[in-house]
Structure 1
């Protein structure tokens, strides 16, 4: 679904991502791990269009999208969350999600001024999509609560729902379990499996190794911006380069 070939990103004299090639496999849970500063979030920024690469090529469903920006990538079906969930805290949870589906609407200024039929129909579609996404992530009961009043775990689920309202085929999750307790982590892992079970492809960055090793179908390991390993969880646990660079002996395969 998503082919990355020799991707490189330089910021002045710093090379944050260097010559990385990987395939994000359709209908799978793909994971990216590595130490802090390894280039994981920069890599996400490249494949979601936040940054344009210095070198390399990105192909999505057979189309070259290397120079596409974030808005175009989202329109094509690549959605993402961020490490910190930024919401409109004074708005309701539902209103936050209604904004997400605006990506798929076509109404302009005239439609707003004249309250056209198209505008009314699109507003209804946005609300329905937001309600469906909230139901999917198990948060229908907080739809009318102000976003500032929900828990950290609920904010993570809202971030998932916001990604879903854009109508994606690929969802990029940047540390989806960051800042939540072990029980909540289990629930978020189950939600990720549910997303894949409903036809989505997921790629995530995460530091919680127990979660990753029990969740991912395939893992890529970055270190100092370079790919040092790729494989199944069992293969990654047994890789001496990964153990030395990141996992440590406590995560090594028996």
Structure 2
């Protein structure tokens, strides 16, 4: 699903991502972990097209997307959430989600001016997709609520739904469980497993190690922009380089 070859991103003289090569399989949960400032979000920004690499290649299902615009990468099937969940506070949950499926519509200004049949059809498709993904994330009962009135955990689910509304194959989830309690974290982990059961591929950045170790099929560890390890949760937990750089001796003893 995702293949990265010798990926490097320089900001001036700083290598935020330095010569990373990795492959993530389709229909799996792939995690990226590491200390703050390790290059994790920059890695996601490169995959989604927000940054262009200094060198190296990014392939999605065999297609080189290294120089593609964000919107074209999204149309290829890459959806994304962000560390900070930013939504339209004074709009309803459903209205927030309708925006996501607009990526797949073709209506333009002329369609709006004449209220074309295509515009009406695509508006219905976008509303139906919004209702579908809202049901998927378990929030059908909140469709007419304003974003300002829902909880942090519900906002996380709405962010998932917004990414799903773009009809992705690969979901990039940036700290999806940040700011929620352990019970809510478990619920979000189950939602990610549900995505896998429905044929999607998940790649996430997360600091909650108990969740990652319990659900990830593969983990890549970054430190100072470099890949220092990759493997299964069992391999990562027992890797002395990872323990020293990130997990710490307490985690090693608990494992």
TM bin, normalised by shorter chain, reads over 0.9
Deviation at 1:250, TM superposition (A): 2.1
Distance in 2 of aligned mates of 1:188 and 1:80: 15
Distance in 2 of aligned mates of 1:42 and 1:24: 17
Per-residue CA deviations over 1:157-202 (Å, capped at 9, x if unaligned) read 0000000000000000000000000000000000000001000000
1:116 aligns with 2:77: no
Aligned equivalent of 2:201:
201
Distance in 2 of aligned mates of 1:175 and 1:132: 24
Structure 2 unpaired stretches of 5+? none
Aligned equivalent of 1:189:
189
User: Helix, strand or coil for the counterpart of 1:141?
Assistant: helix
Question: When the two structures are superposed, what TM-score results if normalisation uses the length of structure 2?
Answer: 0.99
Aligned equivalent of 1:219:
219
Distance in 2 of aligned mates of 1:164 and 1:210: 25
1:252 aligns with 2:243: no
Distance in 1 of aligned mates of 2:226 and 2:182: 30
Distance in 1 of aligned mates of 2:214 and 2:63: 32
Distance in 2 of aligned mates of 1:251 and 1:120: 55
Question: When the two structures are superposed, what TM-score results if normalisation uses the length of structure 1?
Answer: 0.99
Instruction: Please tell me whether the aligned partners of residues 176 and 206 of structure 1 are also in contact (alpha carbons under 8 angstroms).
Output: yes
User: Helix, strand or coil for the counterpart of 2:138?
Assistant: coil
Aligned equivalent of 1:29:
29
Aligned equivalent of 1:210:
210
Distance in 1 of aligned mates of 2:129 and 2:182: 30
Per-residue CA deviations over 1:36-75 (Å, capped at 9, x if unaligned) read 0000000000001010000100111111111012111101
Instruction: Please tell me whether the aligned partners of residues 51 and 69 of structure 1 are also in contact (alpha carbons under 8 angstroms).
Output: no
Distance in 1 of aligned mates of 2:42 and 2:35: 13
Per-residue CA deviations over 1:10-46 (Å, capped at 9, x if unaligned) read 0111110000011121000000000000000000000
User: Helix, strand or coil for the counterpart of 1:87?
Assistant: coil
- What's the Cα RMSD here? 0.7
Aligned equivalent of 2:103:
103
Distance in 1 of aligned mates of 2:12 and 2:215: 37
Instruction: Please tell me whether the aligned partners of residues 169 and 200 of structure 1 are also in contact (alpha carbons under 8 angstroms).
Output: yes
Q: Runs of 4+ in structure 1 displaced over 3 angstroms?
A: none
How do residues 1-254 of structure 1 correspond to structure 2 at under 5 angstroms?
A: 1-252=1-252, 254=255
User: Helix, strand or coil for the counterpart of 2:220?
Assistant: strand
Deviation at 1:216, TM superposition (A): 0.2
Per-residue CA deviations over 1:87-135 (Å, capped at 9, x if unaligned) read 0101000000000000000001110011111000000000000000000
Distance in 2 of aligned mates of 1:76 and 1:62: 11
Distance in 1 of aligned mates of 2:70 and 2:245: 32
Distance in 1 of aligned mates of 2:69 and 2:250: 41
